[in-house]
Structure 1
Amino acid sequence: MKVFGYTQSNADHTLFLKRDGKKLTALIVYVDDIVVTGNDTGEQLKLQKYLSQEFEMKDLGDLKYFLGIEVARSANGIFLSQRKYVLDLLAETGLLGCKPADTPIEMNHKLCEGMDQEPTNKEQYQRLVGRLIYLAHTRPDIAYAVSVVSQFMHSPSVSHRNAVDRILRYLKLAPGKGLMFSKNRDLEVVGYTDADWAGSITDRRSTSGYFTFVGEAEYRGMAHGVCELLWIRRLLTELGFKPGKPMELHCDNKSAIDIAHNPVQHDRTKHVEVDRHFIKEKIEKKIIRLPFVKSEDQLADILTKAVCSRVFYDSLTKLGIGDIYAPT
C-alpha cells in the first residue's frame, strides 16, 4: 500500500489512506479481507487492478457483510448489525424458541465468585462468552452484562451460566438490533462517561464506561473517555475532517469535573494525579470540554450498572440503537 502511494493511519494501523485534493480513498484490511471506500472511483479501480496483480483477488461488490457484521444502507445512513450471528448463536444453544427476556441482566444482581458449588461446562461457557464479547461491537446494550459474566471465565458455576442464558434470551427479543450511523454534516465529537465506584461484589473494583458520538472512580473513567475522544479526533483529522471546536465529554459527577479544572484539589487524590494532569492538559489546549449532565440523562449508565427496563430502553433510543428488521 505504501509503495502505491498510500499513507498508513496512525489512529488505526490497518487503515490506509490516499488523498488527491478533495478526493479520498480508504482501504482497511483484516487478514485477507479488505474493504475499500471513498469518493474517488478512478483511484479505486486503479487500486483494485494493482492489488489483483499482487494477490489473487475477488471483488464482492458493495459491502454487505464483513467479519460477521451486516451492513445495510439507505438515504438516512448506514446500519450495522449481527442478526445472522445472533440467530446462529441461538440455534447452537437451542434457544431459538426460548421465552425472551426484557433486559440482558437482572437489576441488583448478586453475581460473584463462589455463588454455588455446582460447576458448569467451562469450555462451553468460555466459548459462549467469547462470542458475546464480539457481538458487543454492534450491541452495546449487552456490554455491561457481558463484562459481568466474563469475570467468571476461570471457574463458572450454574448461576453464571444462567446469567449468560439470560443475555441470549434478551437477544432473542430482537436479534436484528444494531447501530445506526446517521447521515449528516455535523462532525462535532461528543462523549458520555460514567463509573460505578467499587461496584463489584467480588473484588470491589469499579466499572467505567463511555459512549462517543461523531456528533474518583468517575474521574479515572473520564480519562478513558478522553482517550477515546482523542483517538476519534486523530482519525477524523487523518480523514480530512479535523474537529473545529472542543469535544464535549459529559459527566454526571461534579467532583470529577472540579478535580479536572482545579489543581488545588489533587492533593487529596494522589492516585489520580497522572489522569488529572492528562485531562487538564487537554482542557487547557481547548481540545476537550467537560459539561455536567444530570444522572437521568447519563447515557453511559447502561455500561456500568444494571438499570430498570424503562431507563434501559430510553437510553437505547437516545443512542440510536434500533432494529430495521422489527415489524412496522
Structure 2
Amino acid sequence: MRTREDLEAVVEAAGWAPSVHNSQPWSFTIAGDEISLRADVDRRLRAADPEGRELLVSCGAALFNVRTAIRALGFEPLVGMLPDPDRPALLATVRIGPAEAVDEHTEVIRSEIPRRRTHRAGFAGRRVPERMLDALVGEAEREGARLTPVGAEGAIRVLAALTTAAQEVQAQDREYSLEMIRWGRPPGSKYRDGVPADAYPQQARRTHPHFAQRDYARGQGWGNPDDQPMAADTGVVALLTTRSDTRADWLKAGQALQAVLLHAAAAGVAAAFHTQALEHPQLRDFIRAQLCSGEFPQMVMRLGYPTTRTRGVRRPLADVLDEGGNPG
C-alpha cells in the first residue's frame, strides 16, 4: 500500500486527461488503497452529448492515466469497470495490486501525462512515419479499440466536409452556442477548466482539406496572436472505433485514446480532435456505415507534428477529489 500522498499524485495525473471542451467531467475518491472514478454529470454537454458518450470517453482517458500512474509507482492496477449497476455514475474502481517492476516504457509514458496537449491548428509538413502509426494502432488494439489511419483522399474529404457541415449546424443552434459560451474562456480568465483563449491561434491557417475547428472565440477576436502556425498541413486523419457501443465501450475507447495520445506525445506527435459530426446521430451513423466497416466511431482526429505549444489548465486536486465519498 502506498501513502495518501502517492494516491493523490495518481489523481492529479488523472486530471490531465483530455476531455471535450476541457470540461474535466470527473471526480475521484480515495479509500485505503483504492481510487474510485465517478462521472461528474453536471459537466456533461447536454446539447452535444445527451447520452454521455463523450463524457465517458473523457473519463476513460482519465482512467488510463490512473492505471499508468499506479504502474509508475511500481504496482499493478486492479481495475473494476462499471462495478455497480445501481450506481451508474461510478465508472471504475482501481486498487493497488501486487508490486511490479517499473520499466522504462512506463516511466516515459507517465512523464508525458502532464505534458501532452490538444492541438487546435494545422501541423508541420513532416509526415508521421508509418512505423509510428503502426505502433499507435497496436496501442489502441491493446485497449480494446481500433485506430484506423484514413489513407483514401476521398474519405478524408468526406470527413472534412462532414466536420464543417456539423459545425455550421451547431453554430445556428442556441443550445450548442450556449455550451460554447460556457466552456470558451475569455482572455485573462481565472477558470481552471474550459478552453483558454491562448490555447489556439488567433488566426489559424486553413488545412487542405479543411477540418473546422471549434469556434471558442465566437467572433471576439480571441486567441493567441503569438501562436500563428507557419504551416497548415492536415496531418494523418484517423478514426478510433469500437465493435459495439455500450458504456463499457466508451470507457475502453477513452483508454485507447489516451494510450495513443501519450505514446504519440513521447515521439513529438500531437492530436487535433474533431467530434462535431459524431455529435449528430445521423452523421455518426453515416460515418459508421460508410467509413468504419460497421464499427462505431468514437473519435475523429488528426495526428501530426505541431509547430507551437500551448499551455494547459486543470482544476486543482481539491476540486476533483471528493472527500465526502459521494456514492454516485
Q: Quickly name the TM-score band, shorter chain normalised.
A: under 0.3
TM-score by length of 2: 0.26
TM-score by length of 1: 0.26
Which structure is larger by alpha-carbon Rg, 1 or 2?
1
Greater RCO (CA < 8 Å, at least 6 residues apart): 2
Name whichever structure is richer in strand by fraction.
Answer: 1
